Amino acid sequence: MKLKKEYIILALVMAALVLYLAMHKSNRIHYKLPAVTPVTEKQISKIEIARNGKSVFLHKKDNNWYIGEKEYPAAQDKVTGMLRVLKDFTITALVSQSENYIRYDLTSDKKITVKAWQGKKMVRYFQVGKAAPTFHHTFVLLPDNVNVYHARGDFRRVFDRSLDDLRDMVVLAFENNEIRKIDITVKKTSLLLTQTKIPVVKKDKKSAKTSNKPEMKTVWKNTKGKNVDQAKVDRLLQFLNHMECEKYIYGKKKDEFKNPQYRIVLDGTKKYSLAIFSKTKKEDKSYPGISSKNRDPFMLSDSQVSILKTKIDDIVKKK
């Protein structure tokens, strides 16, 4: 009878232990994650990125994105990355309830606050910390919530950007095959290149006679009517097309820059121009420039101007 009583007590203790472990495990794993309202990329019309008390605003206008009140054109690929994160924003796990934010880079000096609107309605609001060790998640804070969560994706690098980081740095862009004239001025020396079509001279005279219309080919000629190496002209156009500046010049207007060292005018279905000026100081490592594509003056690097000079010299040089 005594042995039976001991077995009953042991069974009750074991049952209590199993129940405790099950409940303890359940309390650790099962918790309710905050709900995230779905939003599409097309719905988002404004984004704010804030850090250390400074904010950068982006807004959509006529399907294009602009930065701030001065409406600097934004780099579309960078905005696309932000919109993708805002659309796919997903909370995957609770990380901490301790309110100790230092280890997650969620302190006031390190966190990045991101807000997004659909018209006047705010549809996203979160604070970005550092990436998790796996780089597949980011530590985030949500509004009116002291807990630290995992959000799916490494997107701190997407939002850790200044005004200059977000601006469209392309200062000249065109379609290569639309250009028919190239007017190059280096200081006081000018060179005009014109694209024209000439008949192809065939060695086989019989085949040439059978055709009603002569076969034509496109060539570039200078002002003296001499052919210019097609490959060299193509390389110049390829270099100029989608040229990006090093940085923008603030506090100055385009008309303040006079007497360019280099001026290139491309004439096709539209006219495109690029002007490069002398360095402000001899020790500078970049040149001021203006273009028809951009309303603001900018800086081009030493290497860019050096390459441009080489390509122009290649065309000018005689064989």
pLDDT in tens, 7-52: 566 666 676 665 655 555 444 445 689 989 999 999 999 999 999 9
Interhelix angle 302-316/230-240, nearest 10 degrees:
160
192 and 223 Cβ atoms separated by less than 8 Å: yes
- Average pLDDT for residues 139-164, to the nearest whole number? 94
C-alpha span between 183 and 132 (Å, rounded) = 54
User: What's the burial of 60, exposed, middle or buried (CB within 10 Å: 0-12/13-18/19+)?
Assistant: middle
Instruction: Spell out where the chain has E strands.
Output: 46-51, 54-61, 64-67, 72-73, 91-96, 112-118, 121-131, 137-141, 148-152, 170-172, 181-186, 189-199, 216-221, 227-228, 243-244, 247-248, 262-267, 271-276, 286-291, 298-301
Taking only the tens place, the pLDDT of each residue in 247-272 is: 999 999 999 999 999 999 999 889 99
- For residues 201 and 224, what is the distance between their CA atoms, to the nearest angstrom? 21
The CB density around residue 46, as the number of other CB atoms within 10 Å, is 17
Instruction: Enumerate the domain spans of the chain.
Output: 46-166, 170-316
Tell me: pLDDT of 1 over 90: no
DSSP strand pairing (271-276 vs 298-301)? unpaired
Would you list the DSSP string of 270-316?
Answer: SEEEEEE---SSTT-SEEEEEESS-SS-EEEEHHHHHHHHHHHHHHH
Which residues are paired to 191 by β-bridges?
A: 184
Instruction: For the beta carbon of residue 101, count every other beta carbon within 10 angstroms.
Output: 19
Check pLDDT > 70 for residue 319: no
pLDDT the model gives residue 27: 45
Tally DSSP H helices, then E strands, for the chain: 7, 20
pLDDT band at 111 (very low <50, low <70, confident <90, very high): very high
280, 232 in Cβ contact below 8 A?
no
Burial class (CB in 10 A: 0-12, 13-18, 19+), 85: buried
Q: How far apart are CA 237 and CA 224, in angstroms?
A: 21
Nearest Cα to 184, choosing from 306, 319, 313?
313
Interatomic CA distance for residues 305 and 264, integer angstroms: 13
Q: How confident is the model at residue 184, as a pLDDT?
A: 95
* pLDDT tens-digit readout, 189-218: 899 999 988 887 766 655 555 556 677 788
For residue 72, give the nearest of 181, 188, 174, 167 by alpha carbon.
167
3-class DSSP state of 239: helix
pLDDT tens-digit profile of 61-90? 999 999 999 999 999 999 999 999 999 999
Residue 32, number of CB atoms within 10 A of its CB: 6
Token duo for residue 229 = 């190496």
Q: Which residues are within 8 A (CB) of 90 and not within 5 positions of it... i.e. 6 or more apart?
A: 36, 151, 152
More confident residue, 231 or 10: 231
